[in-house]
A = this chain, B = another copy of it.
Amino acid sequence: MKINGNYLNLKESYLFSDIAKKTAAYKTAHPEADIIRLGIGDVTLPLCQAVVDALHTAADEMGKKETFRGYGPEQGYDFLKDAIRDYYKSEDAVSLEADEVFISDGAKSDLGNILDILSRDNTVLVPDPVYPVYVDTNIMDDRRIIYMSGNAENGFLPLPDTSVDADIIYICSPNNPTGAAYDKAGLKKWVDYARAKNALILFDAAYESFITTPGLVRSIYEIEGARECAIEFCSFSKIAGFTGTRCGWTVVPESLVYDGVKLNRLWLRRQTTKFNGVSYPVQRAAAAVFTPEGRAQIKENLDYYRHNAKTITDALDKLGIWYTGGINSPYIWLECPNDMKSWDFFDLLLTKANVVGTPGAGFGANGEGFFRLTAFGDRDRTAEAAERIVKLLG
């Protein structure tokens, strides 16, 4: 029995374990230090009441013979698919068919699993800096990977280079880790490039709910031609705090055709063969996000995080530090002051301000000299961290 040897080509990322180790070592040496963590990408506010109520109702349904649900459709229940379609219709003026929406247990699962239906003989284009999962899942399949540079000049929003040939293109907007978000003109260039190259865009929209600036794109299907070249991945994780509850969705338009085959049919076949659908109570909880009460309640939570982001960007503005994100994203991606390297700035913030963030170098070569702070923390603690940063660097 032979293993998939491509796994031996994966590099282990020690980013978050190194952060944890350095922080723990500092805390041991300075037990009195009051450390504030602005490094995590996880939410901290609880599920909203509409969602909790839906979980209770579904639990009771599952406990009675008359309302019990066994196997559901692998691609998700219509009540949730319809709620998502209404969300697209009302927020983005995008119309989706019911069989174009697939309910998943989160964007991370589908971003990995989608590669099952694509040949290993494709060239993949990923941005640098990047969410490491895009790279690792393709190394596992031995696909050729090429990079496009995000940097301060292009605002970490690289545009297509027609001299480069690629088959599969990853775009995450608003971006993790940079918080940068494409506008319609920028994304249209990518759609045109993909169509010219017969390429496929894998569009990660996990952070779309943070967008408030008009003209920025929440769904790639707002762009003409995207239904012919893009799959969109989204998640309740950041919309409604589902990081531990687990639900997302993937849109595979009927009009996506490669090698004469509809990707929608292939994905349906993949999911019905290797997946058994998302937990019924979780699907009911997700549907509750889109009720009037649910939408009002998640807006409060999103506003809470947005306020944190503004607290951080106000501090950076005061200090004259360059950054992306923060406005349409829970991430603030800042240039380290005084040409410092990412890890040196990490050490400075940890030891002099007792604030923990994430070194940009951990997201790729182009992240060197940059640093990520997140808006998912507690309001008062975030304000305290911002004050300490201003005091340290001001």
**A interface residues (Cβ-Cβ under 8 A, vs B):** 1-5, 7-8, 10, 42-49, 51-52, 55-56, 58-60, 62-65, 67-72, 105-106, 108-109, 111-113, 116-122, 133, 136-137, 140, 167-168, 198-200, 241, 243-247, 258-259, 261, 263, 266, 269-270, 273-282
Contact = CB atoms under 8 A, between A and B. Distances in A.
Contacts of A56: 56, 59
Given A3-B259, A121-B2, A279-B279, A68 B52 contact: no
Given A55-B55, A63-B49, A122 B2 contact: yes
A3 B273 contact: no
Nearest to A282: B279
Contacts of A133: 273-274
A244 B69 contact: yes
Copies in the complex: 2
Contacts of A137: 273-274
A279 B1 contact: no
Contacts of A117: 3-4, 7
Most-contacted residue by chain B among A10, A140, A167, A276 (CB, 10 A): A276
Contacts of A43: 70
Nearest to A201: B1
A111 B116 CA distance: 14
Most-contacted residue by chain B among A4, A42, A65, A263 (CB, 10 A): A4
